[in-house]
């Protein structure tokens, strides 16, 4: 067993085993790196403790309903899914999971193994960050692109639309009730909220897209090659993922929830970078007025 453990611990993919009662019996080194949880923190716990809090694209909590591990233990079939796990640090990580039943010598299912990987998103993000760092265009707190770089990117998108007709969507995001975080819990907590939201934006965006900090608690996303419906889906997915970001604020386990209000627009032929951001900003304020934690597009606003 020690020989096999050495092999499993050197995999790039995370892997863990559960018994028939879904109690975690093994957790490899890659699982520690991807999730932030050490083996001693999870072994002996049950996966239905909702530790990793897997959610799907719809925001359903799979550890409580629709768990692939439960289904594989029940019917003995392999399964695959793309989900978002909850990292110990609080942000969401997109992973592809593969579940296989574990059988004893008689063929009876006695547990399951789940293999999961981050699809190289982390390495793509690291390459992007290194490039931005060389240009001194990173926001120092969130490690996203700063306003200067986002402004230059928007100018390029305007030129590309006018010259080649390439469509680009702009999402303007503003954290809801952010002043309350600072007033009630202090600026250190407010800064950590910004970092967790920023990381969620960065690791859940496509390689062709870019999110940056516009200022304060405001973020801007540039989403390339989308139509109105696709842009609305991207914005809604981001809103949903941020709504699952949490931050513990006291020793008894109490945490604060984070939400964003968003405005989403497609660039127009007569746009400048400034006018595009203003339009998206106005729609964001409509989301605020409508109750917060929502996305407003130009189609919804009747523009």
* Ramachandran area for residue 31 (φ above 0: left; ψ -120 to 50: alpha; else beta): alpha
Residue with the two structure tokens 């680009």 = 168
User: What percentage of the chain has pLDDT greater than the value 70?
Assistant: 90
What value does the mean pLDDT take over residues 93-108?
91
Q: What is the pLDDT of residue 135?
A: 65
pLDDT at residue 111 above 60?
A: yes
Question: Lowest mean pLDDT: which of 39-53, 137-151, 195-209?
Answer: 39-53
Q: How confident is the model at residue 132 (pLDDT cuts 50, 70, 90)?
A: low
Given a cut of 80, whether residue 47 has pLDDT beyond it is no
Q: Which CATH superfamily is domain 2-119 in?
A: PAS domain (3.30.450.20)
Residue range 250-292, pLDDT digits in tens? 766 678 889 999 999 999 999 999 999 999 999 999 999 999 9
Partners of 94 in the β-ladder: 84
Measured in whole angstroms, how far is the alpha carbon of residue 107 from the centre of its chain?
39
Q: Which of the following is catalytic: 32, 192, 217, 218?
A: 217
Q: From the CB of residue 75, how many other CB atoms can be counted at a distance below 10 Å?
A: 10
Q: Are 229 and 237 in contact (CB under 8 A)?
A: no
Is residue 50 pLDDT above 90, yes or no?
A: no
pLDDT band at residue 2, thresholds of 50, 70 and 90? Answer: low
Residue 36: predicted pLDDT:
92
Q: Please check the confidence at residue 228 and state whether its pLDDT lies above 60.
A: yes
Is the confidence at residue 127, as pLDDT, over 70? no
**Rounded to an integer, what distance in angstroms lies between the CA atom of residue 109 and that of residue 78?**
12
CATH top-level class of 122-301: alpha beta
The SS3 of residue 118 is coil
Q: Give the pLDDT score at 197.
A: 95
d(CA 157, CA 169): 9
Q: Is 218 left (phi over 0), alpha (psi -120 to 50) or beta?
A: beta
pTM over the 0.85 mark = no
- 9 contact partners, CB below 8 Å, separation of at least 6: 28, 29, 30
Q: How far apart are CA 34 and CA 84, in angstroms?
A: 12
- Residue 5 clears pLDDT 90, i.e. is over it: no
What pLDDT is attached to residue 208?
87
If you count them, how many residues does the chain have?
303
Share of the chain above pLDDT 90, in %: 60
What average pLDDT is seen over the chain? 88
CA distances to 35, 99, 178 from 65, rounded to whole Å, are 21, 16, 32
* Annotation says 217 is catalytic: yes
Output the pLDDT for position 12: 78
138-161 pLDDT, tens digit per residue, is 898 998 999 999 999 999 999 999
pLDDT band at 180; cut points 50, 70, 90: confident
| Domain boundaries, given as residue ranges, for the chain | 2-119, 122-301
* Residue 155 confidence (pLDDT): 94
Residue 189 has pLDDT above 60, yes or no: yes
Give the HSE-up count for residue 171: Cα atoms under 13 Å, Cβ half-sphere.
Answer: 30
């Amino acid at each position: 067993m020690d020989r096999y453990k050495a092999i499993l611990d050197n995999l790039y993919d995370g892997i863990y085993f559960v018994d028939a009662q879904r109690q975690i019996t093994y957790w490899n080194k890659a699982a520690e790196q991807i999730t932030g949880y050490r083996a001693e923190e999870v072994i002996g716990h049950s996966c239905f403790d909702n530790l990793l809090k897997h959610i799907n694209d719809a925001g359903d909590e799979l550890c409580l309903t629709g768990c692939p591990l439960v289904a594989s233990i029940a019917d003995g079939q392999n399964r695959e899914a793309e989900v978002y796990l909850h990292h110990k640090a609080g942000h969401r990580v997109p992973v592809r999971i593969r579940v296989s039943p574990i059988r004893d010598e008689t063929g009876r299912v006695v547990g399951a193994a789940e293999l999961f990987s981050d699809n190289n998103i982390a390495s793509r993000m690291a390459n992007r960050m290194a490039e931005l760092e060389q240009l001194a265009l990173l926001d120092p707190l969130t490690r996203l692109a700063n306003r200067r770089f986002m402004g230059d990117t928007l100018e390029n998108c305007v030129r590309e639309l006018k010259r080649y007709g390439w469509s680009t969507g702009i999402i303007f995001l503003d954290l809801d009730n952010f002043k309350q975080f600072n007033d009630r819990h202090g600026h250190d907590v407010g800064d950590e909220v910004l970092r967790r939201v920023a990381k969620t934006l960065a690791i859940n965006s496509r390689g062709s897209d870019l999110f940056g900090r516009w200022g304060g608690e405001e973020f801007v996303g540039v989403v390339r090659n989308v139509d109105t419906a696709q842009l609305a889906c991207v914005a809604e997915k981001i809103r949903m993922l941020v709504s699952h970001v949490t931050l513990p604020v006291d020793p008894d386990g109490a945490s604060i929830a984070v939400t964003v209000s968003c405005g989403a627009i497609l660039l127009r032929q007569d746009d400048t970078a400034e006018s595009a951001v203003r339009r998206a900003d106005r729609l964001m304020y409509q989301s605020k007025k409508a109750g917060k934690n929502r996305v407003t597009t130009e189609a919804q606003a009747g523009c």
